[in-house]
A and B are shown apart, each in its own frame.
Chain A
Amino acid sequence: MTYFILQILPYISVAVLTIGLLYRLGRWASGRIVHNITLTPAPTTQTGAVVDIAAEAILFKSLFKADKTLWTGSWIMHMSLFAILGGHVMGIGLLGLQFYYIGLTSAETSEYLSNLLGTSMGIVVLLGLLYLLYRRMAINEVKMISAPSDYLHLLMLIAIITAGNLMRFVPEWGIHYEPVRDYVAHLLTFSAVTPEMEVMHKPVFVIHLLLVQVLMMYLPFSKLLHIPGMFAHRWIINRPYVEPAPGMPGVTVGGSGHNVSGGHSASGEVQ
């Protein structure tokens, strides 16, 4: 079983995630943007629109204006989750020496900082998730519109994070960066995982990895599609819009009609 989870399932889960996402994105792309449903006030340039979308993606601007409590919980949850994903790349890829490589600290301090960040973010994201779960059960409106899967997504993430945190806090359940790097290298080079490798003997690591792979496989078939969906939808409603030229023909002050004859489109168009 461990062998299946570590050696075979990763290829399956990555394939399902990739093909599933391509299937979903392809479906979206085959739909048209039929009408101009730009939400105003809209920026007048493409750059302005990109800045707007970035502010939404990074700062959750709309949510901040609408619901401060939810914003606090969800922003903290998403940002720490994002930091953790980055931390996995740094920790496993660079063995936690990232701060040393960019010349900020000594090698020991870098590893210490890496561990400290990973541990603290693990706690923060767990708190964020617990808040979201509490909110879903405590606020009547949210409870009314929730389907069973809405709870399951949260519970799944909580389980993954808990397994990860256990590896941080219980040394004998944990695993160092090096063996994991070796394991990932084996996967990437399509070489066989051998029984004596340390990853084969760390049950919590195996559970952690299993849960992550299950999540990867159902991501394209769940509301977790909101990750690409947000960009795809904001691309439709957060667009630049240029107002048509004002001024009426025959009026001597200001508009003498020159603006009018120059207006080629019946409506605003992006320059």
Chain B
Amino acid sequence: MPLTETGLKQPVKANEKDLLKINMPVIPDDQKVEVALKHLNELGEKFRSLMLTFESCVKCGACAENCHTYLGTRDPYNIPANRADLLRKVYKRYFTPEGKFFPGLIGAKDLELEDLEKMYSYFYQCNECRRCSLVCPFGLDTCEATMAGRQLLHWLGMVPKLHASVGAAMAKTGNHTGLPKAATVDTCEFLEEDIMDEIGVDIKIPVDKPADILYIPSSADFMLNPNTMTGAAKFFHYLGVNWTISSEIVEAGNFGLLFDQRATLRANCMRVIDEALKLGIKKVVWGECGHGWRAGKMYLPGMLDRPGRIPIVHIHDEVAYYIEKGALKLNPDSITRPVTLHDPCNFGRACNMCDTLRKVMNASVSNFVEMTPNRERNFCCGGGSAILFDDPEMYDLRIKFSAKKAEQVRATGVDKDGEGILCAPCSICKAQLYPMVEEHKLGVEVKGLIDLVGLSLYPVKHD
């Protein structure tokens, strides 16, 4: 149901049954506006960042040319300031004196059902990458408006089927793909055999074993990116770490950050520390997942219902630390293919990880080429905030969103011989880039950073 009567492009909505699985009632259409206003007021009053973003924007438009969704589509509503305006106009109309008395003058407007549909369309075209916040002269965080908008829509029962079903799968099985424990154990055994065949080393991937370290992999690493999982296993094995994964939380991601920052975000955060406690864990090490790590690093401490005493770190930071300590003997000469790095938005702009990624990269490969712009100024892959929708109209948008990324990769020249590697250390980036690399005909293979560490740590012998 991509095109509505008004011509808006929208992802398929979750139906009543899907919504019940994530404990959300559906609000009938004739009550939506009233309920939305009530919640919008609550959100504005609660989040200072949101109120400031509503009240301080001067509409200078510096964000327009810095947003890849606008660059890719030239749709006026994909200008970050304008996207936030969908909500801002309404907020001003009802909750500020100027909007109450002079709506026309300051561009405020009454909320109508149609506006909610428009919000549903455009807030799910935002990648929540925060590049606009970086370039805004006041640092206004348009991502906060998108997040508030999605929260509001969630409370109205307007959630993409993708997000709702991932939320439901997470609550049921502890991972986004709905993998039960038996399948997790099976996959791990299969991956262990894989490692054995590849490098002839017996490396175990322990499941639910009381240990020092709890590794939180992305569930996509069990299907789409197995080399990321085996890379992490190789790293832990090399150092002799007493580690485990938990079948209850085989998921680095947290979709709560993306559509419901209350119940879903909190439940997923609690799941991590509950499991860590159960297994007697001393430290939690997070896997390759951009938004998940943002949630784990920045949001989790404030979302817990009890003090979180177990330190949580990211595997890249640990790898970089042991590289610095000289504890890892990497063989960069074993990876001579040209590699370029896509800095995931959440790592660069939200989690302070740009230097770490480069430390690990430079130690693992011998031919690393920087992309421009890079680090915290990098452009999003186009899949950010999990808008990985498959319906044709939304898929078409995803290709357009990644046009800037394709341009950046081409400019590095790593794709020239068809031998290049595009390193994207984030599950959503990978899921977006696998098809995008094909669509934009780039001669690169998409890999994670831990994949490269694993390959460099235990080079495959070519006889």
- Check A139/B61 contact, CB under 8 A, given A229-B56, A266-B311: yes
- Check A241/B322 contact, CB under 8 A, given A60-B137, A146-B59, A260-B311: no
Please choose the segment from A100-108, A165-173, A175-183, A248-256 that sits at the chain B interface, where 4 or more of its residues have CB less than 8 A away.
A248-256
- Is there a chain B Cβ closer than 8 Å to A244's Cβ? yes
Contact between A253 and B326, CB atoms less than 8 A apart: yes
- Is there a chain A Cβ closer than 8 Å to B136's Cβ? yes
Report chain B residues within 8 Å CB of A37.
49, 141, 143-144, 298, 350
Report chain A residues within 8 Å CB of B352.
40-42, 241, 243
A18 → B minimal CB distance (Å): 16
Output the residue of A65, A139, A225, A237 with the most chain B CB within 10 A.
Answer: A237
Q: Which of A227-271 contact B (CB under 8 A)?
A: 229-230, 232-234, 236-238, 241, 243-255, 257, 260-261, 263-268
Contact between A39 and B139, CB atoms less than 8 A apart: yes
Contact between B59 and A32, CB atoms less than 8 A apart: no
- Is there a chain B Cβ closer than 8 Å to A196's Cβ? no
- Check A255/B141 contact, CB under 8 A, given A35-B298, A40-B350, A67-B135: no
Contact between A31 and B300, CB atoms less than 8 A apart: no
- Is there a chain B Cβ closer than 8 Å to A195's Cβ? no
Question: B48, B57, B106, B312: which contacts A31 (Cβ < 8 A)?
Answer: B48
A235 → B minimal CB distance (Å): 9
Please choose the segment from B116-124, B195-203, B238-246, B445-453 that sits at the chain A interface, where 4 or more of its residues have CB less than 8 A away.
B238-246
- Is there a chain A Cβ closer than 8 Å to B127's Cβ? no
Contact between A40 and B348, CB atoms less than 8 A apart: yes
Please choose the segment from B74-82, B390-398, B402-410, B429-437 that sits at the chain A interface, where 4 or more of its residues have CB less than 8 A away.
B74-82
Which single residue of chain A is at the shortest CB-CB distance from B60? A70
Question: B61, B105, B321: which contacts A141 (Cβ < 8 A)?
Answer: B61
- Is there a chain B Cβ closer than 8 Å to A152's Cβ? yes
Question: B284, B300, B321, B355: which contacts A247 (Cβ < 8 A)?
Answer: B321
Contact between A232 and B327, CB atoms less than 8 A apart: no
Report chain B residues within 8 Å CB of A232.
48, 52, 56
Report chain B residues within 8 Å CB of A39.
130, 133-134, 139, 141, 349-350, 376
The docked-state distance in angstroms from the alpha carbon of A40 to that of B433 is: 24
Output the residue of A37, A70, A147 with the most chain B CB within 10 A.
Answer: A37
- Check A233/B52 contact, CB under 8 A, given A245-B311, A246-B318: yes
- Check A62/B139 contact, CB under 8 A, given A39-B349, A144-B79: yes
Report chain A residues within 8 Å CB of B261.
35
- Is there a chain A Cβ closer than 8 Å to B274's Cβ? no
Contact between A63 and B299, CB atoms less than 8 A apart: no
- Is there a chain B Cβ closer than 8 Å to A58's Cβ? no
Contact between B312 and A250, CB atoms less than 8 A apart: no
Please choose the segment from A1-9, A22-30, A79-87, A184-192 that sits at the chain B interface, where 4 or more of its residues have CB less than 8 A away.
A22-30
A56 → B minimal CB distance (Å): 7
The 8 A CB mask of B331-359 against A (1 = contact, 0 = none) is 00000000000000000111111110000
Report chain A residues within 8 Å CB of B137.
56, 60, 62-63, 74, 230
The docked-state distance in angstroms from the alpha carbon of A254 to that of B320 is: 12
Report chain B residues within 8 Å CB of A65.
135, 377
Which single residue of chain A is at the shortest CB-CB distance from B319? A246
Report chain B residues within 8 Å CB of A268.
297
Which single residue of chain A is at the shortest CB-CB distance from B143? A37
- Is there a chain A Cβ closer than 8 Å to B325's Cβ? yes
Report chain B residues within 8 Å CB of A252.
240
The docked-state distance in angstroms from the alpha carbon of A146 to that of B326 is: 56
Contact between B58 and A244, CB atoms less than 8 A apart: no
The docked-state distance in angstroms from the alpha carbon of A145 to that of B377 is: 24
| Consensus secondary structure, chain B interface | helix
Report chain B residues within 8 Å CB of A236.
48-49, 52
- Is there a chain A Cβ closer than 8 Å to B85's Cβ? yes
- Check A63/B349 contact, CB under 8 A, given A221-B97, A222-B98, A229-B52: no
How many residues of A sit at the interface, in one of the four size bands?
Answer: 35 or more
- Check A233/B56 contact, CB under 8 A, given A144-B79, A253-B322: yes
Output the residue of A56, A63, A233, A252 with the most chain B CB within 10 A.
Answer: A233
A163 → B minimal CB distance (Å): 23
Report chain A residues within 8 Å CB of B48.
28-29, 31-34, 232, 236
Contact between B64 and A249, CB atoms less than 8 A apart: no
Contact between A251 and B302, CB atoms less than 8 A apart: no
Contact between A233 and B49, CB atoms less than 8 A apart: yes
Q: Which of B304-320 contact A (CB under 8 A)?
A: 304, 308-313, 317-318, 320
Report chain A residues within 8 Å CB of B321.
246-247, 254-255
Report chain A residues within 8 Å CB of B351.
40
- Is there a chain A Cβ closer than 8 Å to B107's Cβ? yes
The docked-state distance in angstroms from the alpha carbon of A185 to that of B45 is: 42
Contact between A40 and B376, CB atoms less than 8 A apart: yes
- Is there a chain B Cβ closer than 8 Å to A223's Cβ? yes
Contacts A/B (CB < 8 Å), 10 sampled: A40-B354, A41-B355, A62-B136, A67-B65, A221-B96, A232-B56, A233-B52, A237-B49, A237-B133, A266-B304
Question: Which 10 A-B pairs give the minimum distances between C-beta atoms?
Answer: A229-B56, A147-B107, A31-B48, A254-B325, A66-B135, A246-B321, A253-B327, A40-B352, A266-B308, A142-B61
